[in-house]
């Protein structure tokens, strides 16, 4: 996998997207930037409506629906039970139905490796952001080790952008927080240390402290943990 990820440019393109349909071109660019076979985003919003974009073939999408694979897909079941990113190889593929599904996915070019990031938003929204590829275990382990934090950050940015287009979505108090404050709170909620957050956002820990204290003040929180909890409960950050 050849990767040449310009994260800043991708995030700028995401911010500039003005309609739900525009996310498709962004996810194609993401696939190319990360050098994988496929990237896919799928959400279920608060009204139960579904939306997806990605690079799987039309044939596979139609096959997935026609075979009702949603009910047996180990990736869906595994991610719904977890909050942290999931490497497909760590899921349970032991049942006959799961093995048949996996063989069919391979035939349709999905790839033998995958990394899926579950995201939970306000009002029951659930989304998955997935990268998949065809390669050996060693190459995939190196890829996920090197780029997992970038993928997680992109997944949450992507979902946050998609939420802007949710029908009848109510304006939130999140606008009181700056984009960087939201980024910092999101990563802290995901379990990143302050050093990891600063590194991911390419800022100093001193600057990070400024963002955290500003967010804490705006949220009326007693400490950082309280600030993260308040931000999550109000739907200001999505984890």
Q: Sort 75 into a burial class: Cβ within 10 Å, 0-12 / 13-18 / 19+.
A: buried
Full set of structural domains in the chain with CATH: 7-163 (3.30.450.80), 173-233 (1.10.10.10)
Kindly report the average pLDDT of the chain as a whole number: 86
Closest CA to 131 of 117, 115, 144, 142: 115
Rounded Cα gap, residues 2 and 139, in angstroms: 11
pTM for the model stands at: 0.69
No. of H helices and E strands in the chain? Answer: 10, 5
pLDDT over threshold 90, residue 7: no
Match 């995201």 to its residue by tokens: 119
In the three-class reduction of DSSP (H, G, I as helix; E, B as strand; rest coil), residue 133 is classed as strand
In the three-class reduction of DSSP (H, G, I as helix; E, B as strand; rest coil), residue 166 is classed as coil
Q: Strands, DSSP E only, in 49-109?
A: 50-54, 86-87
For the stretch 172-213, pLDDT in tens is 444 478 888 999 999 999 889 999 999 999 998 888 988 898
């Amino acid at each position: 996998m050849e990767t040449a990820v310009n994260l800043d440019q991708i995030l700028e393109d995401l911010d500039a997207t003005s309609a739900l349909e525009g996310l498709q071109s962004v996810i194609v660019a993401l696939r190319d930037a990360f050098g994988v076979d496929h990237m896919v985003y799928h959400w279920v919003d608060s009204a139960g409506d579904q939306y997806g974009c990605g690079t799987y073939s039309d044939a596979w999408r139609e096959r997935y629906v026609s075979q009702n694979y949603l009910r047996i897909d180990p990736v869906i079941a595994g991610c719904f039970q977890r909050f942290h990113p999931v490497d497909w190889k760590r899921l349970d593929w032991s049942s006959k139905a799961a093995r048949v599904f996996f063989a069919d996915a391979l035939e349709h070019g999905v790839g033998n490796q995958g990394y899926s990031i579950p995201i939970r938003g306000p009002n029951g929204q659930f989304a998955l952001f997935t990268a998949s590829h065809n390669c050996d275990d060693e190459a995939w382990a190196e890829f996920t080790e090197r780029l997992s934090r970038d993928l997680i950050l992109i997944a949450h940015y992507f979902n946050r952008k998609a939420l802007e287009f949710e029908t009848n979505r109510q304006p939130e108090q999140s606008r009181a927080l700056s984009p960087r404050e939201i980024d910092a709170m999101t990563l802290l909620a995901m379990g990143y240390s302050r050093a990891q957050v600063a590194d991911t956002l390419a800022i100093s820990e001193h600057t990070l402290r400024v963002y955290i204290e500003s967010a804490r003040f705006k949220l009326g929180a007693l400490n950082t943990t309280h600030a993260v909890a308040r931000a999550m409960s109000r739907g200001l950050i999505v984890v």
